[in-house]
Structure 1
């Protein structure tokens, strides 16, 4: 009876696209700016070690290979806690668990400021990874509670804007903080960890009062709007489960999940390898710390714009696999071209285009697992994909550091990263052969933009 009433409301009151777009626009304005800002802070705290390295490596005696380990150990902790954290989210609710994650990662970022040896810093970075584990997949699952499939890619892309915007804002901010040498008896990099860790704690507390666990608990939605969203999500889950209900255990061994895990791993090796080393690559061109922050922001800003445009194109056309493959190929070609360049301007142009491709991959990839994962299977499947994929945070930066120390330059590193992006494109095409057409699996949004033009 309840489902009949819900579906009746959906059909009678929200059969026109205008009402649907108005409702989803309201949801987007309430949820997406906050979660995007949270992810921005998350990525600043995760990656600020790349700017801290400009002075920290010398103070603590950290080699290029050692820096690769400093970056990578974070992801070991992150991957270990990924799936348990997702299952805890299912048990305790998104609002409470996401708030817990944010408060603990903020505290651990502050702890990094008081490391006195490379070993202490490595332990703190590992615990930071454990604290952060589950945040991104938790938000992916949370957005699935609010956004039907035809709006979800744009919602996820808006959330993931936090990645490039973290560099756009975090780069100049981190460079400015590095000017606080000697203030209060702390070194520049210590101030960096301290000042950039505190906001996460405040946001975690604010999260408890901002996020709602489901549309039914949102006072800012009308009864009809709540009913329509719940109906759309119920119908979507029913369509997916008609092809065969997947348990948690099955999701962890499903061939499609394994292929997507490897795709995400190889794609992110290309992205993280550049992202974490970008400040030092730019610094090697002879720029000051302040100039490094400003120049590093440019490719990330363009990557942010590309993410939104590419996600809209993916939702409008429904050609999910093609959009993921094209971005990987673009990034691979640009990275290879950058490895062959000798002039600083051409190196930066190549890296900019490569990041546009890598961020485009990030924006459109997550529409693929959503075509066949729901419920606890989604928690496990998303967690596995992210656990394997996020190990790229170890392999990518470590590979760049090892090749730089071995070859005394970045050309070999960039060429290797190009190869991983090419492999990601190949794996995406293999995934396409293992499922029916994504255009048939995922409804296409009737309008070009989630937030309106």
Structure 2
């Protein structure tokens, strides 16, 4: 069944998802643009590769610490208000990066940016469960997640062009980049506050019978969710299966972010200009955006999640290993493209797999736990790449480590990705 064949879902999709995709596009642009500023900013304020990787990853530490409370507050006060608040504060913190003058300032603002944005992605993920029936969630998540690689793809040339403003009004190009790219987030906070609708029952733009139909279908999905639905919130949040999903997501994110923050720097070492680097950096993520949407639809069509998650993870690991071992720039770009396609294609199906194992009444907290653990991978991946760059003089060992860590996710998904029908050892372990 295609999304457009179902009237209430179709209306919800076209009302909500374009705005959410645009918000995630801007979020990812503000999160990852530091990778394009890396060379010039590091030179101006005196950052080594290790210091840059550590600072880039610090974003995810405060994101991790505040993610669960942020998502619980979103569930309490509504996505419309809370997402608008997130966007306003992260826009301000992202713009403030333009005024960094030393290593300490860089670390501080990365921590503040993570605190400001905490809860955005898991909040949207939870929001999807409030609006879209289970049979559509892989393709919905794929559509939403495609904003990230598209942001990296389009953001590359844009960031490269903004770096070309170097010296305008006596301001460095990388500072202009942070200032200009912060404006959309702050503007969109107003749009979200006026336009988003928290639940189908609140949607005046749906016909009364459509509101009832969609609410009933979502209620049916909730009743058919995992056996975890009978547990208390504390038990659900710390259920071994949920924690293992978090570890698997951590391993995927280690690879995705380890590459994304350093890919512009790796490509620039091919001997390219800032603008050329931006355009070539866009290629892997443009392909990834196409791949993840197609793969999410394929998973929904077959209603299969586990191996639709494992296959792209393995594909990404092969791409990372090839990028480490190859020396030709064209061959390495192809290898990085394979890695990007695999990492991003796995994500929407992975989340659909999680939805089938999360109790609906505790979804906000459980999703936040999984994503919070994963965001430690956002700290670990760049740190691994920076460490090995400083100690070996290149990125090859770091890429091989990322490939190995990524494979851990495949093993975990094979082990725990089967939706439980009877209590198994993982469920029993919770009561020991």
- Specify the TM-score bucket, using the shorter chain as the normaliser: over 0.9
CA distance in 1 between partners of 2:3 and 2:291 (Å): 26
Report deviation, 1:111: 1.1
Deviations 1:4-56 (A, max 9, x none): xxxxxxxxxxxx99996232122111111110010000000001100111210
Matches of 1:51 and 1:130, distance apart in 2? 22
Q: Which residue of 2 aligns with 1:184?
A: 169
- Correspondence 1:35 to 2:23: no
Please report the TM-score for the alignment, with normalisation by the length of structure 1.
Answer: 0.90
Could you tell me whether the CA contact under 8 Å between 2:225 and 2:356 is conserved in 1? yes
* Runs (5+) with no aligned partner, structure 1: 1-15, 438-453
What is the CA distance between 1:419 and its match in structure 2?
Answer: 0.4
**Alpha-carbon displacement from aligned partner over 1:293-319 (angstroms, at most 9, x marks no partner):** 000111100000001000001111111
Shift of 1:244: 4.3
- Worse-superposed segment, 125-134 or 408-417: 408-417
Structure 1: 4+ residue segments shifted above 3 A: 16-20, 241-244
1: distance between equivalents of 2:50 and 2:301? Answer: 44
Which of 102, 106, 110 is the matching residue for 1:121?
Answer: 106
- In structure 1, the residue matched to 2:429 is none
Please say if 1:56 is aligned against 2:41: yes
Q: Following the alignment from structure 2 to structure 1, what is the Cα–Cα distance between the partners of residues 46 and 384?
A: 20
Contact 2:17 2:144 in 1 (8 A): yes
Question: What is the deviation of 1:270?
Answer: 1.0
Are the aligned partners of 2:24 and 2:148 in contact in 1 as well (CA < 8 Å)?
yes
Q: How many residues align?
A: 422
Worse overlay, 128-137 or 178-187: 178-187
SS at match of 1:367: helix
Q: Give the equivalent residue in structure 2 for 1:430.
A: 415
Q: Which one of the candidate residues 166, 177, 192 is aligned to 1:207? A: 192
Q: Which among 294, 305, 310 is matched to residue 295 of structure 2?
A: 310
Cα deviation for residue 241 of structure 1 reads: 6.2
Q: Return the offset for 1:93.
A: 0.9
How many Å separate the matches in 2 of 1:318 and 1:217? 30
> What secondary structure, in the 3-state scheme, does the structure 2 residue paired with 1:314 have?
helix
Q: Which residue of structure 2 lines up, in the alignment, with residue 254 of structure 1?
A: 239
Aligned with 2:387 (options 402, 405, 410): 402
Instruction: Label 1:57 to 1:221 Cα distance change in 2 as closer, same or farther (>3 A).
Output: same
Aligned match for 1:44, one of 20, 23, 29: 29
Cα offsets for 1:212-256 (capped at 9, x unmatched): 011122222111111110000111111226664232201221111
Please report the RMSD computed on the Cα atoms of aligned residues, expressed in angstroms: 1.7
Alignment correspondent of 1:74: 59
For 1:42 and 1:289, the matched residues in 2 are separated by 22
